[in-house]
Structure 1
Amino acid sequence: MARNLDTALLRAFVAVAETGGMTAAAGVLNLTQAAVSQQIKRLEESFGGRLFERERRGLALTPQGERLLGLAKRLLTVNDQIWAEMTAPAETGEIRLGFPYDLVPGYAAPVLKRFARCCPRVRVRLFSHASREIREAVERGEIDLGIVEEVATEPHGETLMVDQLVWVGARGGDAWLQRPVPISIGSETCSIRPPTLAALRAADVDWRPVVEIANVDALNATVQSDLGVTTMLASAVPSNLEILPPDCGLPPVPPLSVSLYLRRDHGMRAVDDLARIIRETFCRRPAAAAVAA
C-alpha cells in the first residue's frame, strides 16, 4: 500500500542533520526546539528506528539517518521545484515558431492546441517556410523554435524523428507509369528536392517537371489531379493521395530527419514548454510513417 511522506518532517530532519542540533535547526526553520524534536520523533516512529545519536559535540546521524539524508534532500528539491513552478505567475509574451509547409497539416494543430492549454497567456506566431529558411531564421534569432527537415540533424539540434521519403500519386492514378515520369517537386529551398533528384539520377530514370513550387497546396493539387507524382515524408501524406508501391519503377529515396532547433538565448520558460509538447507530439507519429519506415 502506498505511503505518503510528510515533507515538513523531512525538512526538519535535514535541518537538524546540517546544523547538528535541535536548537540550531529550530532557528533555521523558525520553530521552537520542542516542535523540531517532536517532528524528528514522528519521523523516527514512521521508519521504526533512530535517525540521530547524541555525541559530545551534538547530534550525529545513525546509519539509517545517513541513508535517509540524500534521499530526503532529493525529495525536497523536487518538492520545491514543483511548488515554484506551479505558483509562479503565468508567463506572457510571444513565441515565434517555424514549421515546414508539409508538416503543418498533420502536426501544427495538436501542438498549438496543447500549448494553448499549458500557457494560455503566451501567443504563438506560426511561420511556415521551407526548412532551410527556418533554420537560417533560428540562427539569426528571428524565430525562437524551428522544426526542420534535413538529411542529418546538426550537433546543436535535436532529432524529433527519422521518416521515410515515399513516392506519392493520385488515388487510382497512372501518372507514375508515364515516361519520362512527370514530377511535381518543391522549389530550390525545399529539403526534399535534393535527395529526390539524386535518387532519380542514380537510377537513370528519365523525368520531366510538372511544377517546381514552394506552395505545398498547389503542388499537391497537381498530384491529386494525376498530372504528376511527388515524394513526401510518409507521415505527411494527405488522405486524398496514396503511397505508390515499391515495385512502381521509381527509385527508393533515403529518409530525412525532422529536427528541432531552439534559439540559444530565448530566455522563456514557455519556449521550453512548447519544445516539450513538440517532442511528445512527434513521438506519437502516424501509423503510416511507421509502416513505411
Structure 2
Amino acid sequence: MTNRIKSAHHVSGFESIFKCPICDSSMSVYELQSLVCANNHTYDFSKQGYINMLSHSIKTKYGNDLFEARRKLIAEGHFFEPLSSAIAQIIKEQKNPAFILDTGCGEGSHLSSICDTVSADLGNPITGVGIDISKEGILAAAKNYTNKVWLVADLAKMPFQDEQFDIILNILSPSNYAEFKRLLKDDGLVIKVVPQTDYLKELREVVYDEPEKQAYSNADTVDLFKENFQMISTSRIRYTIDLDKPFIHALVRMTPLTWATPEEKLKDFLDKDSAEITVDLEVLIGKKVN
C-alpha cells in the first residue's frame, strides 16, 4: 500500500474534523485520492501522504537542509528528549487525549515521539496532526512518520472545525491564539514551549558580541500567553547535552540564530570535536478562559 493510500485511509476515519480553508464547508475523503469539500474545493494527497491546503505557495527561509539537520539532532541525537518526555507525561494525565495538534510542527519529530509515547503508555490510539507553512518540513515529516496526519497549512486559518483538539502543541514556534482558542476543546490544553535565558548559550556567545543578546528573555511571550489563556502551570526544563562533531554541525544548520552569521565567525565552533550545549526551556500550560 502506498503512502498516499495509507494516509487517505487514515484520514477517512476522522474526516469530520476538517473544514475547507476557502469556504468553511465540511470535507470528506474522495476515492482515497483527495480531501474534497461540499463546494468541490479539492486537495490531493501527495505521493508521500501529506496534503497541501494552502491556497497559494508561500516562500519561507526554512529549507531541506534545516529540516534534515533538525531531524538528525532530535531523532538521532535525542537533543530534546527530556522535553518530549515531560510533554508526554503532561498529556498522559489528561482524560482521553485522543486528538493532538502540533502547530508549526516542522519535520514532525516532536509530534511523532510524543504521540507514540502517549499511545504506548496509555494503550490507546492517539491521532497526531501536524501542520506547518513550510512544504519542505511537511514533506520530510510525511516521509519519515507515516502514521500521522501532515498538512501544509496556514496558522492564521487552519482547516479544522471548531473545538476538535484535546491538546494543542506549540513548540519553539509562532502562535495564533485566536485560532488555538477556536480549535481547542473546552477541557483541552495548550502546551507552549519557549526558550529560557540560557537556551543554546554556548552558540549565542559565538554569534552575538553584545552581552544582552547572549541571554534570552521570553517575558513578553509569557505575558501574551497569560492574556489569552488561563495559566495552569509553568515549568522549566534545563539540561546540558554533549554533542560530537556531526551533531554540532546539525545544531548550527538547524537554528535561525546562525542565519546572518558569517562562516568565519562559526569556524572555531564547527571545528570542535565535541561541545557541551545548554538546553533551557519553559513549558507553559494553559486552558481556555470560561
* TM-score strictly above 0.5: no
Larger Rg: 1
Query: Which of the pair is proportionally richer in helix?
Result: 1
